[in-house]
Structure 1
Amino acid sequence: MKILFVTSEAHPLIKTGGLGDVSGALPAALQALGQDVRLLLPGYIPVLDKLESKRTVANFRVFPGQPEIRLLSAKMPLTEVPVYVLDAPQYFCRVAGPYQYELGGDWPDNAMRFGMLSRVAAMLGSADSPIPWRADIVHCNDWQSGLAPAYLQLNRGSHAKSVMAIHNMAFQGNFDRDWLGPLDLPQSCFDMHGVEFHGYLSFLKAGLHYADRIVTVSPTYAREIQATEMGYGMQGLLTVRNGDVSGILNGIDEQEWNPATDRYLAVHYDSGNLALKAAGKLALQQQLGLETDAKAPLLGVVSRLTYQKGLDMLLESLPRLLDGGAQLAVLGSGESELERRFQHLAQRYPERASVTLRFDEGLSHRIMAGADIFLMPSRFEPCGLNQMYGMRYGTPPVVRRTGGLADSVIDAQESGGTGFVFDEADPAMLYRTIVRAIDCYRDEKGFRQIQLNGMRRDVGWGGSAQHYLDLYRTM
């Protein structure tokens, strides 16, 4: 089967969040199942810099009045999965992030940039393909490729089937209707049974309406987005299409995230020699300037610092926890008010709390290995990967029962427990659950069993990739 995996980011070329991890790992897992899978990715500066042996396979015009672009072919680093890159310097060669400029605002021409990505994806799945290869399945990811199913369905010729994968319903790609013309979309599709959403052209709505199948990144999230709280106004459409909606839990890259071989760790360990994990804790305490105390429960947070992630709730609990002997290691950046509050906490508890307000790949691995308990109290979480990293590294997570957290973490009070789960987005309930985790940590034998349960769980991509392949075969 020929599968085109369309994405706006893919590790290790470019990554802003979980989509980058998924895009780096799932195509490789599908390839391991014998499928002809290829990525399609915008030609951002980091992508062009990191890809070796690039060659031009086509020059063509995507939209009327626009200059020609080049389609480049290369291989993904590490996995050797083929990747096509849109080389359109006018739109993608910019110094800043893939979606926003340096001051934090969205690029004003994002509609054209990702409309181009979507249109080329549709071309590669139809008779309009500028290269001999033509996809059977076009797998789209989030709003940035949401117009691809629309272009496919509006093409009267034969075309590939499409899957719309939702990683986060909150990001919808809504633009002024004036973009219809430049994006070569007919006015007739601008209604409730098309791309229109509250008077805007919505890339995500287009994908949800026109795709042959809709998939989310966990079974629980597939149910949650069909209700008002998490449907973000599109729950009606999703409910109507209920029979086409499914949820497949993400996996993790088990080569990148493996405590036995992790290149960022000085001391390696696995479930057979878990005692060596203590060396990682000591090294982390020393690196972050925390008191070197082997018995202090070290709480880890690696996250965007946002309301969605529930970190405002966590901040209410932290002074009591730190006064009670716990330590804290935070890595991430985000909302300025949350950053300010975490910085203030670190100043108040200089030997008990460390806050690093940036992203650091190596430090994220060392926190996962060196912490005793990982905190992830998200208000909603479509899938989440960090809780699975925590389990794999013997660092049981504290999570709220939502989305992929509910599907991947078993509470310690249940058989085969791998972490600590609470139900309501409530600071008091979060505090009680962290205290429960710390109490369990002090029961060495019981805590060791929870660690082992998590480390022995299958959280790789093999099973998830098979589920995707089964989905493709139903189309």
Structure 2
Amino acid sequence: MRPLNVLSVTSEIFPIIKTGGLADVAGALPSALALEDVTVITLVPGYPAVLKALEGSRVVHHYSGFFGGTASLLSGRAGDLDLFVIDAPHLYDRPGSPYLAPDGQDWPDNARRFAALARTAADIGLGLAPGFVPDVIHAHDWQAGLVPIYLSLAEGPRPATVMTIHNIAFQGAFPAYLLFELGLPASTFTIDGVEYYGQIGFLKAGLQHADRITTVSPTYAKEIQTLGGGMGLDGLLRVRSGVVSGILNGIDDKVWDPETDTYLEQTYNRDTLNTRIANKTALQRRLGLSQNPDVLLFGVVSRLSEQKGLDLVLAGLTRLLADGAQLALLGSGDRILEDSFQAASIAHPGQVGCFFGYDEGLAHLVQGGSDALLVPSRFEPCGLTQLCAMRYGSIPIVSRVGGLADTVIDANEMAIATGVATGFQFAPVSLSSFTDAFQRATKLWRDTEAWRRLQHNGMSADVSWRRPAKQYAALYRSCLST
């Protein structure tokens, strides 16, 4: 195998800036790929947090007119990450979310902000950064969707392109009048270019022009080619099905390791699961739950949205809390859901505890202290919380969709008998199916020995990036051999 250079293009990256699973993937994959002889440099926007984290930076290139202002391309490191950073204050020097203004609305110039990200990536692919010429550019989600079409407009050799869909619900559609401002000629505004229902479709453009298309689980790769799952892009994906594949996400098993996790009250492994009870007590105390080790504690770590199925948890709450069971919830999002869970915590004191917002330490404690983790998503490209749950001995209860279907082995009678079960699946995504799943879990939880086998199975599963990294490396090399 010859060494490869890959430019990863992302709008967020853990541990510097994170709103969701994309950041975790972008932050963990480079080190895993290094073992496959793949060198990755990641291009990210120069948000304040990124510039603050950047060490040993040097200017690679200066842009005098760059989407409404001047900008510099910087090279440097942040921890273990090799980065290119676009220092463009007029685009990225803003507080809070990478995508949303303080009023919760999209930044009005998001089209320019992320076209700038894609344009810079294409320039690097065409030789802008001496000493690093990528063999492959790996573009993540709609924010990097214009990379392949910018490259298609250039003459001469170009790197291969891989477009990864982390969630097809987010597509990046903008008014057609921005076409020339984004540096796209009129000839690109066609059904075979960027045109998408009369708008400029960033993700659509990437899917149309990338050499390979991936998503984050095999089942989701099939779902997005259906009318119900493709959200308007299913036809294009079916046409290009020959280059579409699903590669399961992993998690960083150094960050998510119950044996060394400093966020936990008590570290443990699969041979010392009895000591895990200290984390359950700490979680109950943190969220104002009754400190009782002998009740079943359900956890939720999630964005609060209809996609995530949290309305099912509310609808089934009375039955969920039967026999004194508890719910520990960490998340934020839809205001109606937040208010409803807050009301539930008042109506069920000592049984429902909520924290609304983002707290990395509490996320680890929920995984390390809950008995079971609820993931009732209506669709889920991959999901990471169920992988963390398995690693931490919290039994996942998941809907049979996307990556949840691919990663959790249902504790049906045969799977229990053969000793392979790792959690509970349910389908369809309905209240009755969800209720049946958590009631099955409640029944099995009373069988200490059977529950412990599920914990051991989950904690023994390889949920790291090792296998996905091998698959990505093979995919990159296949791009160059065709």
Structures share fold, TM-score greater than 0.5: yes
CA shift for structure 1 position 155 = 1.1
Partner of 1:27: 30
Q: How do 1:43-192 and structure 2 match up within 5 A?
A: 43-61=46-64, 63=66, 66-77=68-79, 80-127=80-127, 129-192=128-191
Corresponding letter in the other structure for 2:133:
R
Q: How do 1:164-313 and structure 2 match up within 5 A?
A: 164-313=163-312
Corresponding letter in the other structure for 1:287:
R
Provide the alpha-carbon RMSD of the alignment.
1.1
Partner of 1:429: 433
CA shift for structure 1 position 294 = 1.0
Q: Any idea what the Cα deviations from partners look like across 1:325-358, whole Å, max 9, x if unmatched?
A: 1101000011111111101100011111101111
The whole-number CA distance in structure 2 between the counterparts of 1:313 and 1:388 is 21
Q: Any idea what the Cα deviations from partners look like across 1:62-82, whole Å, max 9, x if unmatched?
A: 64x7433111111132xx231
The whole-number CA distance in structure 2 between the counterparts of 1:268 and 1:275 is 11
The whole-number CA distance in structure 2 between the counterparts of 1:294 and 1:218 is 36
Partner of 1:386: 385
Contact 2:53 2:78 in 1 (8 A): no
3-state SS in 1 of match to 2:363? helix
Contact 1:60 1:130 in 2 (8 A): no
Corresponding letter in the other structure for 1:457:
A
* Pair 95,301 (structure 1): closer, same or farther in 2 beyond 3 Å: same
The whole-number CA distance in structure 1 between the counterparts of 2:355 and 2:82 is 36
CA shift for structure 1 position 278 = 1.1
User: Percent identity of the aligned residues?
Assistant: 48
3-state SS in 2 of match to 1:303? strand
What is the aligned length?
471
Partner of 2:6: 3
The whole-number CA distance in structure 2 between the counterparts of 1:132 and 1:101 is 37
Residue 467 of structure 1 pairs with residue 466 of structure 2? no
Contact 1:31 1:81 in 2 (8 A): no
Contact 1:118 1:144 in 2 (8 A): yes
CA shift for structure 1 position 424 = 0.5
Contact 1:391 1:451 in 2 (8 A): yes
Q: Name structure 1 gaps, 5 residues minimum.
A: none
Contact 1:220 1:406 in 2 (8 A): yes
3-state SS in 2 of match to 1:429? helix
Between 381-390 and 152-161, report the one with greater CA deviation: 152-161
Partner of 2:39: 36
Contact 1:164 1:211 in 2 (8 A): yes
The whole-number CA distance in structure 2 between the counterparts of 1:35 and 1:158 is 20
3-state SS in 1 of match to 2:158? coil
CA shift for structure 1 position 305 = 0.7
1:457 to 458, 461, 464: 461
The whole-number CA distance in structure 2 between the counterparts of 1:188 and 1:180 is 10
Corresponding letter in the other structure for 1:447:
W
The whole-number CA distance in structure 2 between the counterparts of 1:88 and 1:376 is 39
Contact 2:237 2:244 in 1 (8 A): yes
Corresponding letter in the other structure for 1:84:
F
3-state SS in 1 of match to 2:85? strand
Partner of 2:422: 418
Corresponding letter in the other structure for 2:34:
Q
Partner of 1:354: 353
Corresponding letter in the other structure for 1:218:
S
Partner of 1:445: 449
Q: Name structure 2 gaps, 5 residues minimum.
A: none
CA shift for structure 1 position 272 = 1.3
Contact 1:62 1:120 in 2 (8 A): no
3-state SS in 1 of match to 2:213? strand
CA shift for structure 1 position 23 = 0.6
3-state SS in 2 of match to 1:163? strand
CA shift for structure 1 position 282 = 1.3
CA shift for structure 1 position 134 = 1.3
Q: Any idea what the Cα deviations from partners look like across 1:53-99, whole Å, max 9, x if unmatched?
A: 22222213464x7433111111132xx23100000000000012100
* Pair 95,110 (structure 1): closer, same or farther in 2 beyond 3 Å: same
Q: Any idea what the Cα deviations from partners look like across 1:136-194, whole Å, max 9, x if unmatched?
A: 10000000000000011111221100000000000000000111101110111111111
* Pair 62,132 (structure 1): closer, same or farther in 2 beyond 3 Å: farther
Contact 2:68 2:90 in 1 (8 A): no
Contact 2:373 2:396 in 1 (8 A): yes
Moved over 6 A (4+): none
Corresponding letter in the other structure for 2:425:
V
Q: How do 1:312-351 and structure 2 match up within 5 A?
A: 312-351=311-350
3-state SS in 2 of match to 1:5? strand
Contact 1:62 1:116 in 2 (8 A): no
Q: Any idea what the Cα deviations from partners look like across 1:368-396, whole Å, max 9, x if unmatched?
A: 10000000000000000000000000001
Q: Structure 2-normalised TM-score?
A: 0.96
The whole-number CA distance in structure 2 between the counterparts of 1:219 and 1:419 is 19
The whole-number CA distance in structure 2 between the counterparts of 1:297 and 1:44 is 42
Corresponding letter in the other structure for 1:445:
E
3-state SS in 2 of match to 1:230? coil
The whole-number CA distance in structure 1 between the counterparts of 2:313 and 2:26 is 30
3-state SS in 2 of match to 1:379? coil
Contact 1:140 1:164 in 2 (8 A): yes
Residue 14 of structure 1 pairs with residue 13 of structure 2? no
CA shift for structure 1 position 322 = 1.6
The whole-number CA distance in structure 2 between the counterparts of 1:146 and 1:279 is 46
3-state SS in 1 of match to 2:271? coil
